[in-house]
Structure 1
Amino acid sequence: MATLLAPHDPRGPLGGSVVQAYVLIQTEVGRASAVAEIVSKIPGVIQAEDVTGPYDVIVRAQSDTVDELGRMVVAKVQQVEGITRTLTCPIVHL
């Protein structure tokens, strides 16, 4: 399993909070490590790890808004070759 970390700052614009989420990714057989490596380089991705279980890669990502996070997942993450399905789980603090 690979643990790939990208530098990040948990503060949003002007020091405010940011939106964070876990993105659970299913990949084609044998593609998890390559997908994790590629996804880890996408701006906004904090961490990408290949894992075992029903999902093959788990990503922690952040953005300034929910809409921006959604655009990142759809326009960047889901376009990576080898990804078959994603599930985005926003982080909440209850």
Structure 2
Amino acid sequence: MAVKAYILVQTAVGRAAEVAQQIRALDGVLLAEDVTGPYDVIVSVEAESVDRLGQLVVAQVQAVPGITRTVTCPVVTL
């Protein structure tokens, strides 16, 4: 069963569009859109396990230049 999550991303001023474009190119990313509000980009991702989700966030998403902070919100079924 795949693990899905939303990643809320804050970027340096003026970098949201560039960051979203770079994130869209990563494997496992379903959607990355620039938004307004406390976060600059919202990302939807899917991974085969929680460990792979962690690797995607830490090794790939957080490595994109211009990102200042991320918050990962795993999707749960209640």
Which runs of 5 or more residues in structure 1 are unaligned? 1-16
Secondary structure of 1:93's partner? coil
CA RMSD of superposed structures (Å):
0.4
Give aligned pairs, total. Answer: 78
TM-score normalised according to structure 2 size: 0.99
User: Looking at both structures, which has the greater relative contact order when contacts are Cα pairs under 8 Å and sequence separation is at least 6?
Assistant: 2
Alignment-mate amino acid for residue 92 of structure 1: V
TM-score normalised according to structure 1 size: 0.82
CA distance in 2, matches of 1:81, 1:64: 25
Alignment-mate amino acid for residue 77 of structure 1: V
Q: Does residue 44 of structure 2 align to residue 65 of structure 1?
A: no
CA distance in 2, matches of 1:38, 1:83: 11
Alignment-mate amino acid for residue 37 of structure 2: G
Displacement after TM superposition at 1:93 (Å): 1.1
Determine which structure has more spread, i.e. the larger CA radius of gyration. Answer: 1
> Which of residues 24, 31, 38 in structure 1 aligns to 2:22?
38
2:76 alignment partner in structure 1: 92
Displacement after TM superposition at 1:19 (Å): 0.2
Structure 1 stretches of 4+ with a deviation exceeding 4 A read: none
